[in-house]
Structure 1
Amino acid sequence: MPDVSWNTFDHLSFAGADLQEFSTSLSRLHSGIQVRSESQRNTKYQVNMVRTRGISVIASRYDGDFSIHFPASIDTAMVLIPLTGSAMVAVADRNLPSIQNKGVFVDRLSDNQLRIAGPRTHLCLRLPHFELTRRIEARLNASLRERLQFATEIDLSQGPGLDLARLAMAIHHGLAGETLHKSPAALGHVLGAMLELLIDALPHNYSQELSRDREAPVPWHVKRAIHYMHGNISRAMTLKEIAEACGVSARTLQDGFRKFRMTTPMAYLEHMRLDVVRQELSSADPEQSVRVIAQKWGFAHVGRFSGQYRKRFGELPSQTLRRIVEIPADVGTADSGRSRPRALAKG
């Protein structure tokens, strides 16, 4: 088996020269991935991966000629940032070159293939689609009206794209040297910065709204309503009550939210509550009850709450509460002299 080492901060590293072993390791980490040789050239690979909150950051170094096949995943996106060498990403009927100054974004709504012609070094991000949605909603202070759609190519030669490439290089060195994963706080900050730079560098269907120099002034009654919701977030509220607290009619309040927050007052309140629940679940003891936490923040019907939560965050509330990813126990056990892998623990 390839060299495998683990620690308790959602970190995995492995290296070797056998593509069959490489394929086996990847397929056990992410079901359905396959690696295929494309020539008789000798192959080498070194992979360092950190996974946290559903986001995988993978620093890879390859030599050889082979392809990696990824199955479709409607909830996951992949970002490829080249550092040295070239590769080709095939998605549906398109071939996207991953070369110097050009990153690639794959929404993974269909199967895709990464063709390596080494030597090659790159940083790969695998992240839940809802994470990008959540960050853009936070910037706009409003719910998105339609599914977030990104362009496939990232300009890494200037502006936020250049900053993204430089940060990717720093992260790659930090992971390959096995130092960055030892500092959860630092890793969290640089990962957050990378996602924000990605949103700025990669065109999408909300780019124009984000690039507005100034947001139109929000009416006082909309601000007042949001303030009132925050102050009473844990108890039941009606649209009529909120409107009366703001001194306007329910229709006026509805119109204000639709125009300036692109949603309704009650939908806005629901998102606020879901965000608060998620924050508490993320720091709660795994033995705590999802039902108790949900009811604490105004969700009386737990079944309906779970559906709303999954729609917004891409996972069940119980998964947020536990957040321990199980890794098959037989990875790396062929050589008794090497470390056995362990379940990835919360960082």
Structure 2
Amino acid sequence: MSTQGEARGRDPVLVTGAAGFIGHATAHRLLERGEQVIGLDIVNDYYDPALKEARLATFAGIDGFSFHRMDVADAPALAALVREAGVRRVVHLAAQAGVRYSLSNPFAYEHSNLAGHLAVLEACRHVPGFRHLVYASSSSVYGDRPLAGGGFSEEDPAVAPVSLYAATKRACELMSHSYAHLYGFAQTGLRFFTVYGPWGRPDMAYFGFTRKILAGEPIEVYGEGRMARDFTYIDDIVEGILGALDHPPGEPAHRVLNIGDSRPVGLLDMIAALEAALGREAQKIMRPMQPGDVTATYADVSRLEALCGYHPKVMIEEGLRRFAHWYRGHYAAPAMALEG
């Protein structure tokens, strides 16, 4: 790993979606190791903008960080920023997230995910000596299918998305593949498996469950509780992002890698861990699967492990304890003893 002084002397890293959950954590980790970071985010109202502003406030006074309130799909403005700032490494995390939201707001995904990704590709390909673009894909590209014995592998087909969100993420992978073929610059797509932790997204199930459990309200458990997710703690995800960033591909210039915990957890088991973290039992209302949801996710992370030694460390029980502690502090929830 570079020393802080050496890192400061290198080109800055552009992090799109810096006000978002993963972008915020990634930018902080880059700063901690001495990088200069340029953050970019439009700070829209898909979920509470106050949370995004609070994330941005954590960068106040930190040397080496600058922020641009900008739409990633504004191709001319993005290209000018990349060119003028001397950016040669990009971590592209800005996107319209969420499966269910895509059912009612499809054009938000066309704009942020497709036009936004194309704008990033165009900005990068015109930079002499560009080093590496790492961008966010999703485990949803695998579609809804039974768990494989060793988890979902990058070699598995990704041709049957069951949501528009998944379709746009797969489209981004194909766009990157074509740009790598045409222009030869290094790119890595990371297929994220359910990320959770402090400063997380309010539209995620564990976050909404926490609010309702603490308020004494019932929670709706979709899929009758039979779903499973490869819940991955935010710190583990960030280490994988930086590991990938530091090891750009050679030939071929584009690759996709899974990034997850590789230990899928049943939805009811996750709720039990959350109940323990909060010290309260949830009132559960069982519901059928919702359109666009998949039954289970399970990451085979052997490629990322071989590349950079990636090895998730935080188990779901500990991760949810940390989240519960942050949630109470951030939202001034009633103080209750945390178990463990």
Interval of TM-score (by shorter of Structure 1 and Structure 2): under 0.3
* TM-score when normalising by structure 2: 0.24
* TM-score when normalising by structure 1: 0.24
Q: Which has the larger radius of gyration?
A: 1
Q: Give the structure with the higher percent strand.
A: 1
